[in-house]
Amino acid sequence: MALAQRTKRRNLRLLASALGAVPTDLYHAGFTSRIHVSTLAGASRNRSWRIHAALAQRLINRARALCAGEHFGLELDEAVHPLDSSTVDLCRSVFRWA
């Protein structure tokens, strides 16, 4: 799903097509056969949202460490975490509040 978001794939069929275009890369990543749309759909349906939350927290912590000494020209009382709006598109079908 991270690859889908990074490459701006709008649906699982486009993602499966993109993955099928690089079979040697998939082999080196541990996949021995072609990835089908149904496989992606099942993995997406069964994956816990907590995985994505944990990844987001790790990325936020990493960004904080990288930008610790930076001055951005404004002072804020609280931490600000900007997120790419494509995340909302990806989550809206699962989480109605998104």
Residue 28, pLDDT above cutoff 60: yes
pLDDT digits (tens, 9 = 90+) for 69-93: 777 677 767 777 676 655 555 566 6
Q: What are the domain boundaries of the chain?
A: 2-66
Residue type, 73: G
Report d(CA 4, CA 34) in Å as an integer.
Answer: 16
- pTM score, whole prediction: 0.44
DSSP 27: H
CA dihedral 35, 47, 42, 16 (to 10 degrees): -30
Burial per residue of 58-88, b for 16 or more beta-carbon CB atoms within 10 angstroms, e otherwise: eeeeeeeeeeeeeeeeeeeeeeeeeeeeeee
pLDDT band at 18 (very low <50, low <70, confident <90, very high): confident
